[in-house]
Amino acid sequence: MSTTGQHATVDADELRHRVRELLDAHPPATTDRLDFLRARFDAGLAWVHYPAGLGGLDAPRSLQAVVDAELEAAGAPDNDPRRIGIGLGMAAPTILGYGTDEQRQRLLRPLWTGEEVWCQLFSEPGAGSDLAALATRAVRDGEDWVVDGQKVWTSSAHLARWAILIARTDPDQPKHRGISYFICDMTDPGVEVRPLRQITGEAEFNEVFLTGVRIPDSRRLGGIGEGWRVAQTTLMNERVAIGGGRIPREGGMIGLVAGVWRERPELRTHDLHQRLLRLWTESEAARLAGERLRQQLALGQPGPEGSAMKLAFARLNQHISALEVELLGEEGLLYDDWTLRRPELVDFTGREAGYRYLRAKGNSIEGGTSEVLLNIIAERVLGLPPEPRTDKDVPWKDLPR
C-alpha cells in the first residue's frame, strides 16, 4: 500500500485501537519491560511515521503524540529516550534515509528498544567547527575498509555498541567530497575509548582511537564519497533533537529558577527579578517556536531552522544557570560530587545549581558550535551572502594542517 493510502487509513482512532490491542496482549504491570518495548515496536507504535515493519505504520508523524499519551496513561514503560538520544535523534533517521533494507531490519529495532546504544564519531582534534576537514582515513581493502584516526567529544562511547562514523576515503578530492559514512561496531578490535574529564568533574565525553579497524563495505551508508551529504541528515536531526525537545510551559531550567524565586523570597532583588522576567519570556518564546518547528518537521525533513533552536537552547541554558547561581549566592556554588564519574546521561534538572552552571558551558559546542550555527542561519535561513571559502575546491591533501 502506498504511503498516501496508509495516511488515509491510519488515523487517531485506529492508533488508539492498536494501542488497546497492545495493552491487552502485553499488560504493562505483568510484562517484562523489554518484551513490552519489542512488542510495541513490532506493532508499529514506536515511530508511527516510519514504514510498516520498521517500528511504524506509515502514519502522519503528528499522530505519535496520540500513541504516547495513551501508553503513558496506561502506565506503560518508555524506552528511556534520554539515555539513547543519539540513536533515536541522529542514527535512526540517517539509517532510515540511507540504509539498505538489511541494515534497517537489523539495526532499528534494538536501537529503539535501547538494547543497543549508539554514539557519534564525527568531531576530531583538528576538525570540530570545520568538520569537513576531518583526517580519519578509511582505505578500501577488498570487501572491507580499514579505518585509522582519532575522534573526540564522543558522548556515550563508553556505553555504545554502534557508532555512526565519517571518514575520508579520497584525499585527492576537496574536503567536502571524498568523505564516506559508515556504521562502526564499537566492540571491534582497534577501537579504544578513553574518558575525557570535564569541568564538572565527570567523564561524560570520550576520545576514541581507531587503529586498523576493519569495517565491512556492507556497513556503509550512502555512496562512496557521499558521506558529507549523508552527514547533513544526521546533523540537522541532531540540532532538532538538542534544541527542539517538547517541554511544558515553565518546564526545563527556567522552571527550576522560578521555583526557587517563589519559595525563597529572602533571595530576591529587583535586578534579579527583571532578569528572571526577561529569561522567562525568552524561554516561553523558544518553547512556542519549538512547537512550530516540530509541526514543520512532521511535514518533512528538518531544515536549517533547527540550528536556530539549538542556538537559542544553548544561550538560554547558560543565562538561566548563571542567574540561578547568582540568586542562590554562596549556596549556588556548592556541588556535592567532584569524583570522576561515567554518567549514562546528562541530567540538567536532577542536579545542583553548580553542576548546571558548569555543564551548560558545553551547550555552545555540542551539536555544532554557536559560531557555526550563526553562519548557517545567516546563509541558509536569512539568505545573506556566504563567507569567502578559499579552500572549497582545493584537494584535501593540499590543505595546510
Give catalytic residues, as residue numbers.
238
Nearest to 228 by CA among 124, 111, 94, 102: 94
Which neighbouring-strand residues pair with 185?
A: 162
Widest distance between CA atoms in the chain: 71
Per DSSP, helices labelled H in 99-140 are: 101-113
List for the chain the helix, strand, coil content (%; round to 5).
50, 15, 35
List the grid coordinates of 337.
Answer: 560530587
Which residue, chain included where needed, has cell 570522576? 340
150 C-beta neighbours (distance < 10 Å), count: 17
Nearest to 318 by CA among 360, 348, 280, 362: 360
Distance CA 160, CA 206 (A): 11
Q: How many residues can be counted in the chain?
A: 401
Q: What is the three-class DSSP state of 167?
A: strand
Distance CA 84, CA 118 (A): 7
CA angle 51, 70, 19 (to 5 degrees): 50
Contact status, residue 190 vs residue 211, Cβ threshold 8 Å: yes
Interhelix angle 305-328/227-243, nearest 10 degrees:
40
